[in-house]
Structure 1
Amino acid sequence: MSDLPRIGLLGIMQPLYDDMLPGITERQHAYAREVADSLEGVAEVTVAPPARGRADAEAAVRGFEDAGLDGVLVVMLTYGPSLRVTRLFQHMRLPVCLANIQPESEITDRWGMAEMTYNQGIHGAQDTANAMVRAGLPFDVVTEDRRAPAFRERVGRWARAARAATALTELKVGVFGYPMNGMGDARVDESELLRSLGPEVVHIAQGELRRTMEALTSEEVAELLEAERGRFEIDDRLSKEELDDHARLQLGLERVLERHGCSAYSTHFDALGEDGRFARLPMAAASSLMARGYGFAGEGDVPAAALVYAGHRLSGIGHFTEMYAMDFPRDAILMSHMGEGNWKVARDDEPVRLIKRPLAIGGLDDPPTLLFRIQPGPATLASLVTLGGGRFRLVVAEGEVLDEPPMPSLEMPYGMFRPDSGVRGCMDGWLAAGGTHHITMTPGRTAADWESFCTAAGVEYRPV
């Protein structure tokens, strides 16, 4: 099965021109199929029959919703009066992009009334966009030559953003324990989050995790450890007991999350430490589960876990991290966390190491931890800010992970990030916008992708 975004193409026209131009509906439907074919490789496109009136349009979008598509690409096949789709946009559940395109990119002296009619989508787009604005519907717009590479690129970006936004509406975030006491930027009203963005919080008893760990067979544990020996450099100091417990934590977490239908989760070290049934924290488990596509955040931070999952759906890789300290001579920020990080962002010229690592947090035994440095190159930071009243803001910073010498004493995933706006400008903007300390990093320059995501999800976008 393809992992491309799945979108529906809603082509809008009207019967007014049938007598003047017999066969116009079939002709313009073929044009819609050409548009869909041109998007091969960036999205899977389902083309609905031409919407020639309100019933056609509403039936087409119901079909897109029933098929579980990620978004709706609206294309004007001719002019179509907006009142026929006004109620549809008032109740639209999927993200929308209006493709302001036409069959021919150039007007020539051979054009007559027929060519004018076939290519008159621009004033239909104006009428339709006006209806979307009046309905309060957030939507993207792509004005482009449909045959230009930029059209594929821009629609592809929107389609990925639509997939991420739609995925959040279906997301369940499992929380083991409770949020870190006193940590305010991670707190969110769960009903508000569900109503506004869609993620549902599932509180999971830690005893269920413990029982699931104990029920695992020795063969299942051995199979996971054998796979990790082929993937990671294993520290010789790790005992059989430590490796066994690490494997049971990872397998147990995934089994419990699958049982509850959760694609993201968060744990808090104090909650596990005070429980009394766990020997160590699941540090390496978080890293490998992120690499498998799960969202994750520490300390019970549900919005951050949801955003890491959105990062997976938007760009292919979401990495959980935070800003540890500023380096003014380098104009950079040390990015790390207590031990959790998606090993898919690791440098490709160094092995990822599973190490024995002392950690005096949580009051437990040493947690096996995956140690790596982040691949140098372009990267983007994003933080989901809860504003209250159902409003959310995304703070985004583009920059570069520097190619720096190792820090031998640092035993957790890390990298030096230089913001394009510099440490001073980035941090002034980040703090003024209320950016949180738990952050999603995505490889590459993905600010434009995050901006499209914000439009699709109804979130305020704030670059810094």
Structure 2
Amino acid sequence: MTTHPFPVIAPEPLSRVTYGTPKIALVSGGLGVYWGQFDGLLDTVRASASTIADRIEGIGATVTDFGVVSDPVDGAAAADRIRQADVDLIVLFVSTYMTSAQVLPIFKYGGAPVLLVCLQPGRSMDHANFGTGDWLGYAGSAGLPEMCVALERLGLPARSVSGYLDDERAWTKIGRYVRATGVVANLRRGRYGLLGHLYPGMFDIASNITSTYSTFGGHVEILELDDLRRLYDGVTDAETEAALTTVHRVFAVDEEADLENISFQARVSVALDRLIEEYDLDTLAYFHMGNSDDIYSRLATAFPIGATLLSTRGVPTVTEFELRAGIAMFITGQLGGGGTFTEGQALDFDRGHVELGHNDAADASITSDRPVLRNLEVFHGKSGGGASVEATVRPGPVTQFSIGELHDGRLRFIASEGTAVPGPAIRIGNTTTRVDFGCDPGDWTDAWAQSGSTHHWSMAVGHLAKDIEVLADLLGAEFRLVQP
């Protein structure tokens, strides 16, 4: 999960978990006969490849340059080396014309998705002074269709970005692939906890674990409340006091809050940290209805503080056994948008806003102010009561991201972009954010509900729909954009 284990009580509770960078293979191609015919052309290709490698590393990746493939023998040798390197993405620099035979082994045996990058040295040729060799340095577009056909005939997706070396439009697209590749790598290694049971009757969020594994990889760890109870029993008074110090740094405590319940939740938060650490979890989805005052029912109602602290640190911890919403938050967090657990709340037709939120926990890294701990006599639809988290996502661009499961087990990625805006909010210990989607609130609600989204999802800051679309492409998931 983390590059270095984090302590049970983080020194800086808002410091997020960090992950390793993806491994990317860069290989360049060109027709070998050109090198002897035109002095300097191979040097131009190598110089451009070096620039591309530096730019990709600057985005956040470890790049290995496998050199220039000049013929099919080079291609077969490069494919072997790339496969042994166990990379996450292959970037083929289509520098000039080349035959598909040169790179078919890389496509078929390289062992990673392929992105074709066709970046010429400059915006335009110097037509008055260029000769054939100079032109060939700009001729990647001559070979690009052949590369795409080769991928299609192998049954592989053809992905390409064309432009010039300093083309920021092109680099924005390449950056999406690099970041999405990192997310895919972390999903493949991810560990997702399920603690307790599904909220009774909430079938839209029920997840087929095999379908989840088929798309994301990773591992789903099935946990019992006994696992948490064992760790809770080991928490000392000193550790609880340290946790309370963290609570008062992160939260604003309402004057009517139940301090005894907050202390209890602080102790549970220490146990939750240990649960995450012991099972090396990247997300945790939990629920236990309970109907008595036994320790298990009390533990099940004491997650809001600990779940907020974990979510804020980049370990989504969500109620109602919502495995896929937790993974959606895990994804948006890695894309730089954080992620807070969300569902529909109400529609404000006077202001043209959709009000979104949920009870229990928040991601304090994306809230407008410190979350408030507000006491609730009862958690609606659940057992028990106590301190609950009230917060609002900060104003600005936001993205809703849901992972729906279709009738045949396939997953659908669903995204919608809008703007979080200020406005009145009810004070009931829930997260509440007003979003303007640029359309009638009823139209957005219908389109979102009919998209295949479950009634829970991740709300993240920033406009991330294009990043999510690229991620869906790399994972082989369906993508749907909801912008009525």
Q: Give yes or no for TM over 0.5.
A: yes
Q: 2:340 aligns with which of 315, 319, 330?
A: 319
TM-score by length of 2: 0.86
Q: 1:444 aligns with which of 462, 474, 477?
A: 462
2-structure distance, mates of 1:107, 1:405: 57
Secondary structure in 2 aligned to 1:277? Answer: helix
Match of 2:59 in 1: 42
Q: What's the % identity of the aligned pairs?
A: 23
1-structure distance, mates of 2:143, 2:294: 62
Match of 2:350 in 1: 329
Moved more, 420-429 or 205-214: 420-429
1:382 partner amino acid:
F
**Structure-2 change in CA distance of 1:31 and 1:4 (3 Å):** farther
Query: How far has the Cα of 1:389 moved from its partner?
Result: 3.6
Query: How far has the Cα of 1:205 moved from its partner?
Result: 1.8
2-structure distance, mates of 1:273, 1:289: 27
C-alpha distance after superposition, 1:298-354 (max 9, x if no partner): 21121111111011112341221111222222222221112222122211xx43222
Secondary structure in 1 aligned to 2:418? Answer: strand
Cα contact 2:420–2:435 (8 A) shared by 1 = yes
Equivalent runs, 1:427-438 vs 2, <5 Å: 427-438=445-456
Equivalent runs, 1:20-39 vs 2, <5 Å: 20-21=37-38, 25=42, 27-39=44-56
Cα contact 1:95–1:166 (8 A) shared by 2 = no
Match of 1:456 in 2: 474
Query: How far has the Cα of 1:287 moved from its partner?
Result: 1.6
Secondary structure in 1 aligned to 2:423? Answer: coil
1-structure distance, mates of 2:67, 2:456: 46
Equivalent runs, 1:272-421 vs 2, <5 Å: 276-279=295-298, 280-347=301-368, 350-361=369-380, 364-408=383-427, 410-421=428-439
1:97 to 2:97 alignment:
no
Match of 1:177 in 2: 196
2-structure distance, mates of 1:459, 1:28: 35
1-structure distance, mates of 2:116, 2:292: 51
Query: How far has the Cα of 1:54 moved from its partner?
Result: 2.5
C-alpha distance after superposition, 1:99-153 (max 9, x if no partner): 2212233112222222233332223322222222233333542222221222332
Q: 2:79 aligns with which of 58, 64, 68?
A: 58
1-structure distance, mates of 2:439, 2:110: 37
2-structure distance, mates of 1:57, 1:390: 37
Match of 1:11 in 2: 27
1:12 partner amino acid:
S
Match of 1:234 in 2: 253
2-structure distance, mates of 1:91, 1:390: 28
Cα contact 1:177–1:271 (8 A) shared by 2 = no
Moved more, 112-121 or 287-296: 112-121
2:78 partner amino acid:
A
Cα contact 1:394–1:462 (8 A) shared by 2 = yes
1-structure distance, mates of 2:290, 2:108: 44
1-structure distance, mates of 2:256, 2:416: 39
Secondary structure in 1 aligned to 2:98? Answer: coil
1-structure distance, mates of 2:68, 2:270: 49
Match of 2:150 in 1: 131
Query: How far has the Cα of 1:160 moved from its partner?
Result: 1.8
1:195 to 2:214 alignment:
yes
Query: How far has the Cα of 1:411 moved from its partner?
Result: 1.5
2-structure distance, mates of 1:273, 1:154: 54
Cα contact 1:140–1:452 (8 A) shared by 2 = no
Secondary structure in 1 aligned to 2:376? Answer: coil
Query: How far has the Cα of 1:6 moved from its partner?
Result: 3.5
When the two structures are aligned, how many residues end up with a matched partner? 458
2:76 partner amino acid:
A
Cα contact 1:73–1:98 (8 A) shared by 2 = yes
Cα contact 1:180–1:300 (8 A) shared by 2 = yes
1:394 partner amino acid:
F
The runs of 5 or more residues in structure 2 that have no matched partner are 4-17
Secondary structure in 2 aligned to 1:382? Answer: strand
Query: How far has the Cα of 1:26 moved from its partner?
Result: 5.1
2-structure distance, mates of 1:428, 1:300: 25
Query: How far has the Cα of 1:9 moved from its partner?
Result: 4.4
Query: How far has the Cα of 1:289 moved from its partner?
Result: 0.9
Equivalent runs, 1:186-225 vs 2, <5 Å: 186-225=205-244
2-structure distance, mates of 1:463, 1:316: 18
2-structure distance, mates of 1:405, 1:4: 41
2-structure distance, mates of 1:129, 1:286: 46
Cα contact 2:61–2:178 (8 A) shared by 1 = no
Match of 1:249 in 2: 268
Query: How far has the Cα of 1:24 moved from its partner?
Result: 5.1
Cα contact 2:39–2:133 (8 A) shared by 1 = no
1:170 partner amino acid:
R
Query: How far has the Cα of 1:216 moved from its partner?
Result: 2.1
The runs of 5 or more residues in structure 1 that have no matched partner are none
